[in-house]
């Protein structure tokens, strides 16, 4: 049983903790945070299924006042685990790394951190092997993780040499008050970092892209224009078959009721998934179209939970629990129930 | 064990089914619907925890094509239960009633139906006794249900003779595509039906109100200006203490992180509540203010789930499972875990 | 001809400049700003109808690069005018005041500044006489300005001793990217500052209120519960007649097509008003309802332009152009064409 | 002087009327509508700058009650003009056509009508010559009009043989209450009609596309991936220079303050343009990126007003006022002041 700790119990941290708990070959030792946030209060109301450790600067008296039991310090937690998952706010991970290094503990960082924090910029499908035995890994961001799942899927099967993406980005998570957009679309300087990141992970693919922020909270939608390697034609049917075979891609149709990003959230809630989370990206069958040598399609990215499976993969790669992408991702998928619904 | 059926497996119907399942003195026999909606597909993916019955006009071949097992007809379901919960779309309940009458089965209708469908317009706290033994009851709508909880709370304790309410209404549920509003507030003709409905349930209170629709999906916010009976002063502390003692009211503060309606949704998700549902209304301690003889405050109404407890109360009243409001609501609260968090 | 300058050419400053231009007994000398913002670029594209002066810290080379003519420094402007209208960002006005004092020039500040910046906290209808000859005045904020128009209207006619307000606040202006809210309502600690401000301007009225932010850009909606002085009954018809007689209140109905705040914006655009601005508050005839001794109604506040008329009034009061509220506001109304539409 | 009538005085009809008024070689005879809408009421408040005619089914007594002068019937209007601009709601134009045919009057229909209503599906730049002398023309929709401007611009200069577009569609206009979307993105079946329409107008280009609706009101954003004819490389600089030379394309940068679609609306309001309208599409210099043989960029489409210039072009083509695209569009641009701002 691999012992795992989670630093930062926010939107991602909570889901990492859940994800680890579902892996039968891992054990969640505890989580660390700074303030008695709503998420920590909810943990208390749930009866503390996980132990809580406090990071430096935390005021323990605030936790005591709320009768929230504290198990120890961040250092205590780091001392008890085989690997840390760091989902602290962007820029904090690099500071936490000092502790991990001191304790000789490997760590997986999330997308908010700079690439330089890690030895390997990681994706479970596209470059698992690079992560084997690596001490510090950084996951791709939510958009890039989902995007690469779909591009890697086509690339493995048919070869891809060029993609142009349009990211229609949800601007905030449900419950966010610290950021937001009201009745406006906002454009970023091109190329988007997701296109650049894709090229880092998949260096044989040329990528560019434009990102537009939209005032919604449920899932990014990305359109992808992909060019078959050396102009090789990928038909709609070829793409569809490949996507349907992937365990982390849900192929759906508009006729079935999947009208947009909010339908996926609704469906995940109706499934009874904790928090209405979904690990799979959605892919609309009705969006796949051909244009000359290009194939175009649209995917839905559940931003809060999409990186959880690839983070589990990262643990498997770093600790050499499985030796290649196929067996590593299969193990993660098995414990998360991915592909089961087909 | 009281046997219960649910007609209409939409936003409310799903939650009624969950609610009944939690009542240890009730048993959910099954649910009835017309189409293989996303919610029915999710039920299938979950392994059919409830049996499905088809209402007239349903095309069974569509369910067969999706391998969704069908247990029987709507009439079959009605024939097996002690009481029906009808959450069919507005206007359909009155048609379903013909079947209920034919089978001699009592029923509880939801707020979308006309008052004339029922013998008693019902609220678990404010008029439980009127529902005792009644054959057809209609629940107040989500806004009215939550509003009355808070007004009844003050009225019981101190006496209220007048309220003026402002309803800041969420315009759609998460996942809705059939209705919506974009960058606009929309006003309804005053007085709002919620004020009128309150007077039907609590005839000794004079009520008026204005309703404004807002383009959000997470919870209505209602402000209430209440006037103590015969001008009796209700202080902020008196009101606060009464609200805190109520099992279906969560008193929170902005400082704790409850910044608005989205915070409640976030908190309920973090609690791991199925679908991120919450049965309690929220009440901001920092919103309670006095103005002369008036007391003013704001509540948050989780529109998807707020009527579930009062519907359980309605079953208890109709079937005389408990003889008065205090014992009826206490039993519902016990099974739903309400008040436990305090 | 009274010579006027405007400091800060943002959302409010532009409209102040327009407003002064329409007053036939005033002359706009120029406007002052810091950066070549979109608004300054638009001024250039329009052919510089107003002269531009640069405040301290401005980089003139940036204006030169865009061929935007600069007429002089902020001090130059202040030296040429009889009065300054200060619509600089909140907190900057107090610094600007040093210059005004040095030059012996009176000034009118907008609502973003602290009350202490001014000798008189001013509203054209409710306390014009207090502003007579005052050197430094501060306007009420947009919400308070519109709110007081309606409360003062009833108070003059019938007497009001108590109000409880609910402010449904638009969270950003069209074009704002520096603030916003996405799919959330946000509540402020009660009582809202608008209720407190109303009591400062109208000390004989007791006021409280709750404010809720909503993710829209077109106009605040405020509901008002008003109590007749000493319990005197104000009927719906009495209130309606008084509102209809007011030159800065547009009484409309839902049936006519005024469904919400966005309808006013649409109507003002269709009128050909520059920027789609409207000086009047809107008041829904269908929102006026009685509840015992209370009268309740809803108004629409066009946040970008509503303070312009009262700011013109402030110039008139400060410079004693007219000696009382009736004649001062009448002159402003005449030049702005207010009341003409009736 | 060419005499022009406008049928349907809604969002588009009002702007067509304004556009015709600005053409010094045309005269607006009047407009026709059915109900005293807010737009008609605004026309009345403005003093009836245009004459009003009533279409069949209109209830004249409603106009009389509001003292809105009526000049005659729709047939009267058609009898007085050289050409009709039909901006009636989708599906009504085909019925109006019977009247136009009876009177022997040519007409230009807007994008909401079916293609079969017209002899020629028209764009002022891309196929002006096909419209020469044609009796019935139909304009491309707002998205397609703006899209084609940019694609035609590159095609003329360098040759384009393939485009893949992503349309990030604003879902409603400011003031709309009859449609809307709340906190959701909605996807349409691919390929989008705009891609198909582009191929009808520019048959030598292969096009596909995906459309996603977003809950905003200010301007669509379209990303375009364009492939040089026969793989000819179009560099960023080549594209930029071509776009900058176009009179109906405004090239802007994020650094200048054009952060998204709402910035264009803000800028047009600040310019004092009636209703905050803009005839040009916006094109972000910072969005232009190369990817192999492809060039990618993003444009902003001001949906309410973008088709006005091309509709003026259509009048010119139909009545042979100018004999080719270059001279026809130049004349329109001159009267609308397009290109002047450079």
pLDDT of B300-321, one tens digit each? 999 999 999 999 999 999 999 9
Burial tier of C204 (Cβ tally within 10 Å: 0-12, 13-18, 19+): exposed
**Is the pLDDT score of B226 beyond 90?**
yes
In a domain, D342, yes or no: no
Q: Contact partners of A by the rule of 3+ C-beta pairs under 8 A?
A: B, C, D
Instruction: Please tell me which residue in A17, A142, A164, A205 is annotated as part of the active site.
Output: A142
Instruction: Please tell me which residue in C6, C142, C164, C315 is annotated as part of the active site.
Output: C142
Report angle CA B183, B188, B194 to the nearest 5 degrees. Answer: 120
What is the domain count for chain D? 2
pLDDT tens profile D189-245: 999 999 999 999 999 999 999 999 999 999 999 999 999 999 999 999 999 999 999
Can you give the residue range of the structural domain that contains D126?
A: 2-140+307-336
**Is the pLDDT score of B340 beyond 90?**
no
Among the listed residues A186, A143, A173, the one whose alpha carbon sits nearest the alpha carbon of residue A300? A143
Q: Calculate the average pLDDT of chain C.
A: 97
pLDDT tens profile A87-136: 999 889 999 999 999 999 999 999 889 999 999 999 999 999 999 999 99
Same domain (yes/no): D134, D163: no
pLDDT value at position C342?
Answer: 78
In a domain, A341, yes or no: no
**Is the pLDDT score of D328 beyond 90?**
yes
Same domain (yes/no): D149, D77: no
Tally DSSP H helices, then E strands, for chain B: 12, 16
In a domain, A112, yes or no: yes
Which residues of D are known catalytic residues? Answer: 142
pLDDT tens profile A141-192: 999 999 999 999 999 999 999 999 999 999 999 999 999 999 999 999 999 9
In a domain, A93, yes or no: yes
pLDDT tens profile A180-232: 999 999 999 999 999 999 999 999 999 999 999 999 999 999 999 999 999 99
D340 — pLDDT class (breaks 50, 70, 90): confident
pLDDT tens profile B209-225: 999 999 999 999 999 99
Q: Calculate the average pLDDT of chain B.
A: 97
pLDDT value at position C18?
Answer: 96
pLDDT value at position D341?
Answer: 80
pLDDT value at position C112?
Answer: 86
| Smallest Cα distance from A308 to chain C, Å | 25
pLDDT value at position C111?
Answer: 87
**Is the pLDDT score of B251 beyond 90?**
yes
Same domain (yes/no): B242, B152: yes
pLDDT value at position B190?
Answer: 98
Helices of type H across A46-169 = 60-65, 74-80, 93-103, 128-131, 142-158
pLDDT value at position D108?
Answer: 98
pLDDT value at position D112?
Answer: 86
**Is the pLDDT score of A252 beyond 90?**
yes
pLDDT tens profile A49-82: 999 999 999 999 999 999 999 999 999 999 999 9
In a domain, C288, yes or no: yes
pLDDT value at position B342?
Answer: 78
Q: Contact partners of D by the rule of 3+ C-beta pairs under 8 A?
A: A, B, C
Residues from chain A contacting residue D261 (CB–CB below 8 Å): 184-185
Same domain (yes/no): D132, D175: no
C31 — pLDDT class (breaks 50, 70, 90): very high
pLDDT value at position D206?
Answer: 97
In a domain, A342, yes or no: no
pLDDT tens profile B9-63: 999 999 999 999 999 999 999 999 999 999 999 999 999 999 999 999 999 999 9
Q: How far apart are CA A315 and CA A322, in angstroms?
A: 10
Q: Calculate the average pLDDT of chain D.
A: 97
Write the CATH number for C219. 3.30.360.10
**Is the pLDDT score of A340 beyond 90?**
no
Contact B217 D183 (CB under 8 A): yes
pLDDT tens profile C224-264: 999 999 999 999 999 999 999 999 999 999 999 999 999 99
Contact D257 C176 (CB under 8 A): no
pLDDT value at position C340?
Answer: 86
Active site residue A153: no
Same domain (yes/no): B149, B296: yes
Residues 277-336 (B) with a CB less than 8 A from some CB of C:
284, 286-292, 294, 296-298
Helices of type H across chain D = 11-22, 38-45, 60-65, 74-80, 93-103, 128-131, 142-158, 193-201, 236-244, 261-270, 307-318, 325-336
Residue A275: closest CA among chain B residues belongs to which residue?
Answer: B269
Residues from chain C contacting residue A175 (CB–CB below 8 Å): 184
Residues 172-211 (C) with a CB less than 8 A from some CB of A:
172, 174-177, 179-184, 186
Same domain (yes/no): C87, C199: no
Measuring CA to CA, how many Å separate D4 from each of B75, D31, D185, D310, D319?
A: 64, 9, 40, 15, 11
Same domain (yes/no): D269, D163: yes
Q: How far apart are CA A6 and CA B207, in angstroms?
A: 52
Q: Is the ipTM of this complex over 0.90?
A: yes
Q: Which of B174, B175, B182 sits opposite D180 (nearest CB)?
A: B182
Write the CATH number for D119. 3.40.50.720
Contact C256 D38 (CB under 8 A): yes
B112 — pLDDT class (breaks 50, 70, 90): confident
In a domain, C342, yes or no: no
Same domain (yes/no): D147, D287: yes
Same domain (yes/no): B133, B174: no
Residues from chain A contacting residue B182 (CB–CB below 8 Å): 183
pLDDT tens profile D134-193: 999 999 999 999 999 999 999 999 999 999 999 999 999 999 999 999 999 999 999 999
- Span A289-299, mean pLDDT? 96
Q: Calculate the average pLDDT of chain A.
A: 97
Largest CA distance in chain C: 66
End-to-end CA, chain A? 30
Residue D186 backbone dihedrals phi, psi, to 5 degrees: -125, 135
Evaluate whether A150 touches A224 at the Cβ level (below 8 Å).
Answer: yes
pLDDT value at position D101?
Answer: 98
Residues from chain A contacting residue D287 (CB–CB below 8 Å): 187, 189-190, 210
Same domain (yes/no): A150, A218: yes
In a domain, A260, yes or no: yes
Contact D218 C174 (CB under 8 A): yes
Residue of A169, A174, A176, A183 to mutate, interface with C, max C Cβ within 10 Å: A183
pLDDT value at position D342?
Answer: 78
CB atoms within 10 A of CB D104: 8
A341 — pLDDT class (breaks 50, 70, 90): confident
pLDDT tens profile D246-282: 999 999 999 999 999 999 999 999 999 999 999 999 9
Among the listed residues C162, C129, C169, C130, the one whose alpha carbon sits nearest the alpha carbon of residue C146? C169
Same domain (yes/no): C152, C273: yes
Strand partners, C5: C30, C84
Same domain (yes/no): B170, B83: no
CB atoms within 10 A of CB C57: 8
Evaluate whether C50 touches C31 at the Cβ level (below 8 Å).
Answer: yes
């Amino acid at each position: 049983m691999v012992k795992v700790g989670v630093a930062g119990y926010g939107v991602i941290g909570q889901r990492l903790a859940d994800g680890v708990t579902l892996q039968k070959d891992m054990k969640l030792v505890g989580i660390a945070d700074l303030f008695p946030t709503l998420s920590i209060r909810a943990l208390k109301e749930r009866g503390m299924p996980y132990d809580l450790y406090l990071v430096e600067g935390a005021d323990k008296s605030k936790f005591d006042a709320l009768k929230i039991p504290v198990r120890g310090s961040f250092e205590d937690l780091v001392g008890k685990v085989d690997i840390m998952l760091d989902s602290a706010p962007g820029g904090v991970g690099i500071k936490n790394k000092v502790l991990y290094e001191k304790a000789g503990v490997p760590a997986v960082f999330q997308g908010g951190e700079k690439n330089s924090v890690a030895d390997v910029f990681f994706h479970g499908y596209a470059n698992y092997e690079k992560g084997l035995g690596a001490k510090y890994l950084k996951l791709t961001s939510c958009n890039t993780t989902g995007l690469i799942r779909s591009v890697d899927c086509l690339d493995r099967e048919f070869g891809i040499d060029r993609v142009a993406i349009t990211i229609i980005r949800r601007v905030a998570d449900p419950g966010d008050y610290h950021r937001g957009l009201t009745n406006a679309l906002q454009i970023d300087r091109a190329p988007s970092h997701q296109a650049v990141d894709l090229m880092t992970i998949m260096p044989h693919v040329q990528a560019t892209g434009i990102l537009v922020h939209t005032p919604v909270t449920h899932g990014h939608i990305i359109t992808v224009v992909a060019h078959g390697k050396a102009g090789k034609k990928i038909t709609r049917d070829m793409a569809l078959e490949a996507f349907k075979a992937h365990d982390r891609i849900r192929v759906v149709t508009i006729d079935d009721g999947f009208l947009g990003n909010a339908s996926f959230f609704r469906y995940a809630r109706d499934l009874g998934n904790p928090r209405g989370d979904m690990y799979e990206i959605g892919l609309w069958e009705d969006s796949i179209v051909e244009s000359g040598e290009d194939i175009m399609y649209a995917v839905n990215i559940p931003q809060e939970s999409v990186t959880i499976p690839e983070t589990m993969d990262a643990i498997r790669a770093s600790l050499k629990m499985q030796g290649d992408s196929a067996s590593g991702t299969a193990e993660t998928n098995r414990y998360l129930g991915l592909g089961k619904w087909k």
